[in-house]
Amino acid sequence: MKTQTWTIFVILGLVWGCNPYFTQMALPYLSPIELVWWRILCGMVPLLIIAIISKAMSWQHLRYAHHFFIMSLLATSLYYILYAYGTKLMPSGIAGVLSASIPLFTFISSMIFLRQESVSRAAMLGMAWASAGIVFIAEPWKAEGGINILGVAAILSGSLLIGLSFVYARKYLAPLKIKPIALSAYQMVFAFLSLLFTTPTANLGNVFQSTHATIALILGLGVMGTGIAYLAYYYLIETMGAVLASTSTYLPPVVALVIGYMFAGETINLMQSIGILILLIGVACIQFGDTVWRKWRPKSACHSAASCNK
């Protein structure tokens, strides 16, 4: 595989991992919905440019506008608002780790709404592990000094919406055979249009009071962390395949923790560290456990048979 592909793989993980920190830098000046207004606007521009240049968009696609609108709510506007609200209430590193729960909720949503899919033992085990990891991270038994439960609930709710969006996209958008770059552009446009009518505009300019917050929001979270990140992820899917490309989601939680420690002075305790490890193991079981089991099981069976024949 080309060095360029792996370079983009690492850069994408780094960019996504910085998003929680960029979010916290801008939140002192904006409300969560105002932050999301800027994030979607700045992320939408590069996606639209590439989608138009590549001629992936078509006026005929507007017949599916209702699907684009629903996806814009599930996977963009509502998800980003919940994510920003949750990040405001907890350390950025923990917020980045909790966002790794998306595969867990995708699995649960698929299990409920796509009943034709069988549920493997590895996936069930992964769901149990990931759920336990979230509990260890949140430490709900702590009355004081623990992670803000409302923040945890907000980020997990956002992850649930993303999980539902994957199921919705598979059921209603995949059969349309519209290019992913076009789907993302439509999603961003509809999300921004909905925010135009719901976001108070009086304080949108407050972010410009801080140069660092402006750069973090406009360039970091918007252009790079949303627009360019989408393009990079689609490139990885085309060059590496969907399964291998999905492993890029394991780097951001680690990056988020490192960034939070280095630049925000954040710390995590032993219980949360254990929870982070358990969560990532659980997510890995959900995504890859069944594949690994199928590859390992025949070898084990053959080995046992050979042993019996000796």
Q: What is the DSSP string of 114-182?
A: -TTS---HHHHHHHHHHHHHHHHHH-TT-SSSS--HHHHHHHHHHHHHHHHHHHHIIIIIGGGT--HHH
2 Rama class: left (phi>0) / alpha (psi -120 to 50) / beta: beta
pLDDT digits (tens, 9 = 90+) for 249-294: 788 888 999 999 999 999 888 888 899 899 889 888 877 776 666 6
Question: Residue 306's pLDDT is what?
Answer: 41
Count of alpha carbons within 13 angstroms of residue 179, beta-carbon side? 18
Helix H, strand E, coil C: the string for 259-287 is HHHHHCCCCCCHHHHHHHHHHHHHHHHHH
pLDDT at 114 over 90: no
Residue carrying structure tokens 């149990």: 128
Residue 49 — very low, low, confident or very high, per pLDDT cuts 50/70/90?
very high
Report the percentage of the chain scoring pLDDT > 90.
55
Residue 210 — very low, low, confident or very high, per pLDDT cuts 50/70/90?
very high
Amino acid at 192: F
Question: Residue 304's pLDDT is what?
Answer: 44
pLDDT at 308 over 60: no
C-alpha 129/C-alpha 282 separation (Å) is 5
Average pLDDT over residues 188-215: 96
What is the residue-averaged pLDDT of the chain?
87
Secondary element (H or E) of residue 70: helix 65-72
Higher per-residue pLDDT: 295 or 108: 108
Count of alpha carbons within 13 angstroms of residue 220, beta-carbon side? 20
Higher per-residue pLDDT: 29 or 293: 29
C-alpha 278/C-alpha 272 separation (Å) is 10
Question: Residue 143's pLDDT is what?
Answer: 60
Question: Residue 287's pLDDT is what?
Answer: 74
Residue carrying structure tokens 């209603």: 172
- For CA atoms 84, 90, 94, 97, give the dihedral sign: negative
C-alpha 263/C-alpha 39 separation (Å) is 22
Higher per-residue pLDDT: 120 or 28: 28
Average pLDDT over residues 233-249: 76
271 Rama class: left (phi>0) / alpha (psi -120 to 50) / beta: alpha
Higher per-residue pLDDT: 226 or 290: 226
pLDDT at 1 over 70: no
C-alpha 169/C-alpha 167 separation (Å) is 5
193 in Cβ contact with 73 (< 8 Å): no
Question: Residue 30's pLDDT is what?
Answer: 97
